[in-house]
């Protein structure tokens, strides 16, 4: 391993966990990642290995049978996993967000019901906010839960569910009629149980099948169609309706740290491939790494990787301390995603014609990097969040 993406101030436990994950990535993920990705094959053996490592319960408190580790520990593990294959980090990302939302906002009964089984991976979480007609415009949610004598009836269509097929617990944001003046206070998060798989996975809930994607393969992305799905009031996250928007935004905030970590992992791997190839490939009588144009490109790539890593670590540590980190999470996600794409593109260029061949790993990274620009909010959305927060912080007096 090189000197990039090293993190100061880690505990002995954090260091040991990262060492174990890094070894797992080197031995179990990197050798098979490109083959599985090209086949769009679900990495079941890898997932089983991550269960044994305790990754599914990494941040779940010990009282609920998890490891009780921090967001920083999780983000650093995700960075390592994404370095091996970004899709694998996607398998655990939405699971982590649902577990986080339960830890922060769930009732004690909900925590005891789900968290111990989430820690082992028996219960697998998915996160559902987007719809066919909306992404970042959360106020436009149309899927609705109507109150009835037995609880609620959910009708509508959700989109872009990572783990939509393999999950058996979905946190779903819907509209409810709370009589509030603000649209944001008329939203509720339901914990919807279903069977893994495709088709009708619960009465009134259909998962049609996998969406075919440019990259981010292996892990399934799906729609979810609700047609008269019945759910009890006990399945409202936190027990009280009308809190869904704020619960989801809290989950998305830690998700942005996660996406930043995934982007850093991809970028770091792209740099590793580039600097290795540049020392092997010769032109005009010497390795291309000795040509100034390539040397400068490598220097810029490494600097971008290190900058993105540092910003991601700062955002995670702020959240772990219980401090506000909306600006820092947005900055980290934006910078990491943009730099990831730039570093991958530079690595692609260094590989020359071979970079366009599916035999070379950089071809896969090139397609994976594009998703980082979209996941958990585009760069333009991050700029809006950052800019509005900064205007409040720096508002002129008088």
Catalytic residue ranges: 376
> Which has the closest alpha carbon to 96: 122, 67, 119, 113?
119
Give the span between the Cα atoms of 304 and 306, in whole angstroms.
Answer: 5
Structure tokens at 213: 């994607």
Residue 58 to residues 74, 123, 133, Cα–Cα distance (Å): 7, 14, 34
Q: How far apart are CA 71 and CA 322, in angstroms?
A: 11
* Helices 361-372 and 244-280: angle between axes, nearest 10 degrees: 150
The first and second tokens of residue 136, run together, are 């970042």
Burial 292-309 (b: 16+ CB within 10 A, else e): eebeebbeebbebbbebb
The DSSP bridge pattern shows strands 169-175 and 205-207 to be: unpaired
Residue 235: both structure tokens together: 């399945």
Return the SS3 of 398. Answer: coil
Query: The tokens of 314 are what?
Result: 């700062």
Which of these, 116, 152, 160, 13, lies nearest to 73 by C-alpha position? 13
- In order, the DSSP letters of 83-97 are HH-HHHHHHHHHHHH
Instruction: Quote the tokens at residue 398.
Output: 């008088």
Measure the CA–CA gap between 166 and 42, rounded to whole angstroms. 10
Which residue has tokens 């106020």? 139
The number of beta carbons lying within 10 Å of the beta carbon of residue 108 is 8
**CB-based contact 24:49 (threshold 8 Å):** yes
Bridge-based pairing of strands 151-162 and 221-231 is antiparallel
The answer to whether 46 touches 81, Cβ cutoff 8 Å, is no
CA distance 207 to 200: 6
């Amino acid at each position: 391993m090189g000197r990039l993406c090293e993190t100061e101030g880690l505990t002995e436990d954090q260091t040991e966990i990262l060492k174990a994950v890094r070894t797992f990535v080197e031995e179990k993920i990197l050798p098979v990642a490109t083959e599985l990705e090209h086949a769009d094959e679900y990495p079941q053996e890898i997932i089983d290995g991550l269960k044994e490592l305790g990754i599914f319960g990494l941040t779940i408190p010990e009282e609920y049978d998890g490891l009780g580790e921090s967001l920083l520990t999780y983000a650093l593990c995700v960075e390592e996993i994404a370095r091996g294959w970004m899709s694998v980090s996607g398998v655990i990302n939405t699971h982590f967000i649902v577990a986080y939302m339960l830890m922060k906002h769930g009732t004690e009964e909900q925590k005891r019901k789900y968290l111990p089984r989430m820690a082992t991976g028996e219960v697998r979480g998915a996160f559902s906010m987007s719809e066919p007609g909306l992404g970042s415009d959360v106020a436009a949610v149309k899927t609705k839960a109507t109150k009835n004598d037995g609880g609620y009836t959910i009708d509508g269509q959700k989109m872009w569910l990572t783990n939509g097929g393999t999950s058996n617990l979905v946190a779903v944001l819907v509209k409810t009629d709370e009589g509030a003046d603000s649209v944001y206070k008329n939203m509720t998060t339901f914990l919807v149980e279903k069977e893994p798989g495709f088709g009708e996975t619960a009465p009134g809930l259909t998962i049609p099948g996998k969406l075919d994607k440019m990259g981010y393969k292996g892990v399934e992305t799906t729609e979810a169609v609700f047609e008269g799905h019945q759910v009890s009031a006990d399945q409202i996250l936190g027990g009280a309706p009308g809190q869904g928007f704020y619960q989801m935004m809290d989950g998305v905030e830690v998700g942005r740290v996660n996406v930043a970590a995934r982007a850093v992992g991809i970028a770091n791997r792209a740099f590793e491939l580039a600097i290795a190839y540049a020392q092997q490939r010769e032109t005009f009588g010497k390795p291309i790494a000795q040509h100034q144009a390539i040397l400068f490109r490598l220097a810029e790539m490494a600097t971008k990787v290190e900058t993105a890593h540092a910003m991601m670590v700062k955002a995670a540590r702020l959240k772990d301390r219980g401090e506000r980190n909306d600006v820092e999470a947005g900055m980290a996600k934006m910078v990491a995603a943009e730099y990831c794409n730039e570093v991958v593109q530079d690595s692609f260029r260094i590989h020359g014609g071979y970079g366009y061949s599916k035999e070379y790993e950089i071809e896969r990274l090139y397609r994976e990097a594009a998703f980082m620009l979209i996941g958990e909010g585009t760069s333009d959305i991050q700029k809006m969040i950052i800019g509005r927060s900064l205007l409040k912080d720096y508002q002129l007096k008088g």
